[in-house]
Amino acid sequence: MGMDIDALKAFLAITETGSFTAAGQKVGRTQSAVSQQIKKLETEIGRPVFDRGSGVVRLTQEGRRLLGPAREVLNAHNRALEAFALTSGGGRVALGMSEFFLEPVLSRLLPEIRNAAPDIELSLWTEATPQLIGGIRDSGLDLALLVGDTPGMPEAVPLFVRDAVWIGPETVDLQQMDPLPVILWGEGSDYARTIQGALERAGRRYRVAMTTKSFGAMLAAARAGIGIAAGLAENVEAGLRVLGPEAGMPHIRTLKVSLARRPEARSKAVREVERLIMGLFADGTG
């Protein structure tokens, strides 16, 4: 009988948390996926490992017998992974982040990778936080910088905070218009809700002048005077300017950024990039 490692992880997570839902959050899987893993484990054993009848999840006699061996198997599995990580050179690392942070993060991270680990192959994803969380869960991503809330990612480590800024054309005072024309990147996203929420809390009338899934297109439209966008100060290119309180623009909530790693991603390359990122932003600022 060969027990599935992920099923054993789910089993131990449930024993530690007392809940299928909490266990799913701990291992980065849905409650349904955890249930399927436990069913698979029980099929292999031929007996139930949890008693769910009383409304409280409790170990059965077989579950208690499995507890010690399950821990031994996972400890051995982790030791094997660590041994491989210590002996492997180079490697590929899939890193994800929002387009917001390409400039402030990559301008500092890439030189560090070049100096400390030049043989690492970096695969970069630029997506919104929900898609990045999906990438971590589905094993497509090794590391991800997540903006705002990180549901299902309890092990995400706070990295830094940044204030978003309003960005408008250099030569046109769009901020004087009523309603204010705005450009939304990722309609329906957390970013878009943040921008609209800032305007609504300030009682500022606005109209959506353009929506786009391209961050570059949003900045190009702002430069052309289509509307006002929002980003970071580093996103302000030639032909654009920051619009602050002196221009009558309201404060946008602070963006909190955290770093998540897929639990199974333990190679030397992943650990090295994770270490470099944590070191670069140890002061809590991006």
Phi/psi for 97 (5° steps) reads -165, 165
pLDDT number for residue 103: 83
Q: Using one digit for the tens of pLDDT, what is the confidence trace for 34-80?
A: 888 888 888 888 889 988 776 678 899 888 888 888 888 877 766 66
Task: Please tell me the least confidently modeled range out of 1-10, 105-114, 209-218.
Answer: 1-10
Class of domain 5-86: mainly alpha
Once rounded to an integer, what is the mean pLDDT over residues 244-252? 92
Q: Which residues of 143-189 form beta strands (DSSP E)? A: 143-147, 157-163, 165-169, 180-185
**What is the residue whose two structure tokens read 């789910």?**
10
Q: What tokens appear for 39 in the block? A: 């069913």
- Nearest Cα neighbor of 248 from 192, 173, 172 is 173
Q: Using one digit for the tens of pLDDT, what is the confidence trace for 123-163?
A: 999 888 888 888 888 778 999 999 887 767 767 899 988 88
User: pLDDT grade, residue 3 (50/70/90)?
Assistant: low
Class of domain 165-252: alpha beta
Q: Using one digit for the tens of pLDDT, what is the confidence trace for 182-240?
A: 999 877 777 888 899 999 999 999 999 999 888 889 999 999 999 999 998 888 989 99
For residue 96, give the H/E element and its range.
Answer: strand 91-97
Q: Which residue has the higher pLDDT, 134 or 95?
A: 95
What's the distance, Cα to Cα, between the start and end of the chain in Å?
49
Q: Which CATH architecture has domain 89-160+256-280?
A: 3-Layer(aba) Sandwich (3.40)
**From CA 17, how far away is CA 24, in angstroms rounded?**
10
Domains 89-160+256-280 and 165-252 share a fold: yes
How many other C-beta atoms can be found within 10 angstroms of the C-beta atom of residue 217? 14
Whether the Cβ atoms of residue 165 and residue 231 lie closer than 8 Å to each other: yes
How many other C-beta atoms can be found within 10 angstroms of the C-beta atom of residue 121? 10
Would you kindly state where each structural domain of the chain is located, as residue ranges? 5-86, 89-160+256-280, 165-252
pTM confidence score: 0.65
